[in-house]
Amino acid sequence: NARLRAQVQALGTQLKMAESENERLRRDNVQALIARAPMLGEGIEESHRQVQSLTLLSQPKVIKLQGTAQHTLQMAITYPLVAVPELQGTALGEVWFPVDWDGRSLAIGGACTPKAEQMLRRKLNCLSPEARPSTGPFAGKNALESLRTSNGSPVLQLLLALELAEHDLEQAQEHLSTYLGSLTAATAIAHPLCLLALSRINSEAPALAAFFKLYPDAARLLTTAAEKRGTQCQRTGAGAGPSPAAPAFSSAWKELKDAHSCASAAMEELLRLTGLQKVKESCVQMFKVALRLKMMPPEARKANAPSFNLCFLGNPGTGKTTVARLVARILHDSGIRSKELIVECTAQKLKDDGVGDFRKKVKEAMDGVLFIDEAYDLDPAGDFKGKPIVNELLTLSENERDRLTIILAGYEDEMNAKLFAYNEGLKSRFQEIYFEDFDEAELLQIWCAMQKEKGWTMADPRLAGVAVRRLVKGANRKGFGNAREVRKRLEQATARAFNRPNFDPSRMVLEIPDVVGEDPRSNPKLQAVVSELCGKTGWGSIKKAVNDLVELCGTNYRRELDGQAPLPVFLNRMFLGNPGTGKTTCAKLYGQILKHLNFLSKGDVVIKTA
């Protein structure tokens, strides 16, 4: 025992010495890095290229002693840092932030394992502000609390603060204060989400503005439509003062037109489309390349000719077909292709018609564009009819690159799994352009444009916003229909308007029930089922619970019209009681109630015994 105690004491002394040395090295590295880190403002991109990351290697003996526990000796500084002068005087006034963060990773320095991070991504409401996870309002909180039992990372405190901001502001403030207290003077490097938490919990507007400026990609993913609008208002002076700067691709296109006296009606049309920022940027760059190629001698142009084969990735309704048609015109306007021509087909049709017909289409599209939608359906490994067509594509995409542009379109995961996995060389021959789902503001713009085109007006100006907020809950998931979904919902609303007894064809006005449905409390079928339940003998607590549920749904209906987040609704129930008290009968009535409240599509109850 004495020998064991001596060994433990020796290890403790060794650990303290290592910690002291490590802290000194860390402080020196941080100070050196801070000395080179810029203040937020002009030149941030230049600094990002120049500042070299500093990595502090952990000592193997200490890692061995600590096992998997989080420890300061295991943390590495691998990010260029930036300070935010606008936050002077706030809780983050003396804090530094990493420059590189796109919002797709939750923790810096390994606070979460990949498996834990994937689980949190599914459950945290604060990471899906416009598309609530289907796991319940407190699933994220419970998951974080569970992780904290085995992981003492301060980042979990920060995530808890964000998750509770909407439901329990006092608790959220406590967790945020705990996280801020963990940022010591020697290592005051904060997680970027700290800016978002300070904005939502302490109403610090400069923190939100800094979040948008430092992390635009993350802001697009993680902020609400209201936060986006609020930041836009700050930038534009709430409608007063100068207009916001034009997007970079618009400025680049204007410079091209001025410098080369070029024109393209198709490019102008593309730049007027809603959203599609990355698509527009890629097309302007493509036009610029074409102009520079034309200025080169023929031999040099032929030797350096890039491939103009493209792969459009994204959900339906994001404009892939529309953009493909515009690209065909843009390629002709830029001189890359001699014909303003596009031949459109689907992969399934190509397989059905055979490789001979495919060769005819290629011949027809020569000197223009061949567009293959849902290209993953070629599935050369799984369908013998698609294999010869893909083999032809391999050859064409390389040998005919100076005369033919091939555009493939489809879901990213299926394109990789079914098409590009067949041959590694195929993917490298296509430039990938990702069509992101439209956000709430863009969907609202699309809704209003379609509504105006059809000649309808709204009885209540809030209706379009409500309809779009319902739509955007499905965004950023595979299969979300985007503009196609907007058209579908608008057509459903107009169909309901046509069927209204008081519809006036001369006015073409959409009423509240047409767009968002009736107040659930006004549903006669619901009233009938509730009346039947309330007519039962006894069941006092059940009747109260059902009436409370109906009233809560009515409250959420009003909140939705006012642009407020709905209150959480819990649908799972446990019926307790002796035999013969009506539990099965009550369950059947409850299923019908949920159906008429639009929580269930059928409302049927399947009865099983344990």
> Model confidence over 481-499: pLDDT tens digits?
899 999 999 999 999 999 9
Nearest of 560, 484, 480 to residue 516 by alpha carbon = 560
pLDDT band at 433 (very low <50, low <70, confident <90, very high): very high
Distance of alpha carbon 514 from its chain centroid, rounded?
A: 29
Alpha carbons 302 and 287: distance in angstroms, whole number: 17
pLDDT score, position 8: 64
The 3 state secondary structure assigned to 378-405 is HCCCCCCCCHHHHHHHHHHHHHCCCCCE
Phi, psi of 323 (to 5 degrees): -70, -35
To which H or E segment does residue 524 belong?
helix 524-534
Give the highest mean pLDDT range of 113-122, 216-225, 376-385.
Answer: 376-385
Tokens of residue 292, six digits: 């520079």
Nearest of 149, 150, 151, 148 to residue 161 by alpha carbon = 148
The 10 Å CB-count burial string (b at 16+, else e) for 229-249 is ebbeeebeeeeeeeeeeeeeb
Collapsing DSSP to helix, strand or coil, 409 comes out as strand
pLDDT score, position 20: 63
The ranges assigned to domains in the chain are: 21-236, 248-435, 450-514, 520-596
pLDDT band at 424 (very low <50, low <70, confident <90, very high): confident
Q: Give the helix ranges, DSSP H, for 535-582.
A: 540-561
Collapsing DSSP to helix, strand or coil, 509 comes out as strand
Find all residues with CB under 8 Å of 364, minimum gap 6, and list them. 343
Q: Where are the beta strands (DSSP E) in 214-259?
A: none
pLDDT score, position 310: 95
pLDDT over 90 at 160, yes or no: no
What global pTM score does this model have? 0.56
| Higher pLDDT among residues 82 and 58, named by residue | 82
pLDDT-wise least confident of 212-226, 249-263, 345-359, 596-610: 212-226
Residue 602 class from Cβ within 10 Å (0-12 exposed, 13-18 middle, 19+ buried)?
A: exposed
pLDDT over 60 at 21, yes or no: no
pLDDT score, position 219: 84
Phi, psi of 82 (to 5 degrees): -145, 145
Nearest of 378, 219, 387 to residue 311 by alpha carbon = 378
Tokens of residue 413, six digits: 């995961």
The 10 Å CB-count burial string (b at 16+, else e) for 378-401 is bbbeebebbbbbbeebeebbeebb
| pLDDT tens digits, one per residue of 561-572 | 877 777 888 888
User: What is the crossing angle of helices 154-164 and 139-148, to 10°?
Assistant: 160
Contact status, residue 415 vs residue 376, Cβ threshold 8 Å: yes
| pLDDT tens digits, one per residue of 349-375 | 999 999 999 999 999 999 999 999 999
DSSP conformation class of 416: I
| pLDDT tens digits, one per residue of 284-315 | 998 988 888 888 888 887 777 788 999 999 99
What are the Cα distances from residue 60, in Å, to 63, 76, 109, 317?
5, 14, 17, 53
Average pLDDT, integer, range 329-336 = 92
pLDDT band at 237 (very low <50, low <70, confident <90, very high): very low
pLDDT score, position 341: 94
What are the Cα distances from residue 277, in Å, to 44, 245, 247, 362, 473?
21, 15, 9, 30, 21
pLDDT score, position 591: 93
Average pLDDT of the chain is 79
Find all residues with CB under 8 Å of 433, minimum gap 6, and list them. 278, 279, 282, 310, 311, 312, 313
As a whole number of Å, the CA-based R_g of the chain is: 30
Nearest of 309, 367, 308 to residue 338 by alpha carbon = 367
| pLDDT tens digits, one per residue of 454-466 | 999 988 888 888 8
Strand 310-314 and strand 405-410: pairing? parallel
pLDDT band at 135 (very low <50, low <70, confident <90, very high): low
Q: Give the helix ranges, DSSP H, for 237-319.
A: 248-260, 265-272, 277-294, 298-304
Tokens of residue 386, six digits: 């698609």
Average pLDDT, integer, range 152-167 = 82
Question: In which order are the strands placed within the sheet that holds 431-435?
Answer: 342-346, 369-373, 405-410, 310-314, 431-435
Alpha carbons 373 and 510: distance in angstroms, whole number: 35
The 3 state secondary structure assigned to 302-329 is HHHCCCCCEEEEECCCCCHHHHHHHHHH
pLDDT score, position 522: 87
Which CATH architecture describes the domain 248-435?
3-Layer(aba) Sandwich (3.40)
